[in-house]
Amino acid sequence: MANLYPNIIQFYEVTKLKGEMNYSLVLEYAEGGTLGKYLREKIIFEWESQLKFAKKFQVRCHGCMLIRESYLEIFLGAIFWELTSCRSPFDFETKNNDPFEIFKIKPDILSGKREKPISGTDHKFITLYKKCWQYEPDERPDIHQVISEIINIEPINGQNFEEEIESEGKLDEYNNMPSCDDYDINSDKYKF
């Protein structure tokens, strides 16, 4: 069977093991592991890489995913947030095998609770994934709007940022700012 989308894991079949209640999907082996594993093990995942991945991911998933479009935007919003935080929303990955923990999260999400944006994330990217998280489907952008908006987000260029600060004569104000080490998104400081 030919794989039409080389960067998307191929689906082979559905099976059910003898004596098991649940069905299993048989998928192509992902040599590098899951996205979650990659994000958790990658020490540094720079903004430019996050944005590049998000652009490739959302363009390729349009038209090839077997998912209702009304949920696609929420799914993309969660993936976009996960790219910037390098962890699963609401630490869902750690609660995956505990039905009680999953049951506790659902009312919070339905009442509008969302993960907080990660410090240093591009404001256009945050705005986009927050729009994708809207509860009402009519308030979420459709996939074409998501594609259009993400294509127009530019990577942050360190040189341009530095030139802008120098031209305004405000470079000294930035010397006393905390170091990037204070904003380690993997530290316990940002978990709730």
* pLDDT bracket for residue 168 (50, 70, 90): very low
Residue 27 is assigned to a structural domain of this protein: no
For 88, the domain range is: 34-190
pLDDT (average), residues 54-60: 67
Residue 78 is assigned to a structural domain of this protein: yes
| 56 and 63 Cβ atoms separated by less than 8 Å | no
Residue 9 is assigned to a structural domain of this protein: no
Total count of domains within the chain:
1
Given this model, what pLDDT does residue 59 score? 58
CATH number at residue 99: 1.10.510.10
Residue 29 is assigned to a structural domain of this protein: no
User: What HEC string does 98-149 produce?
Assistant: CHHHHHHHHHHHHCCCCCCCCCCCCHHHHHHHHHHCCCCHHHCCCHHHHHHH
- For the chain, the distance separating the N- and C-terminal CA atoms, rounded to the nearest angstrom, is 45
Given this model, what pLDDT does residue 3 score? 58
CA distance 62 to 97: 30
pLDDT digits (tens, 9 = 90+) for 123-138: 888 999 999 888 888 8
Q: Of 40-49, 60-69, 97-106, which gets the smallest average pLDDT? A: 60-69
Residue closest to 35 by CA, chosen among 46, 23, 24, 50: 50
Residue 16 is assigned to a structural domain of this protein: no
Residue 26 is assigned to a structural domain of this protein: no
Residue 15 is assigned to a structural domain of this protein: no
pLDDT digits (tens, 9 = 90+) for 73-88: 777 888 888 888 878 7
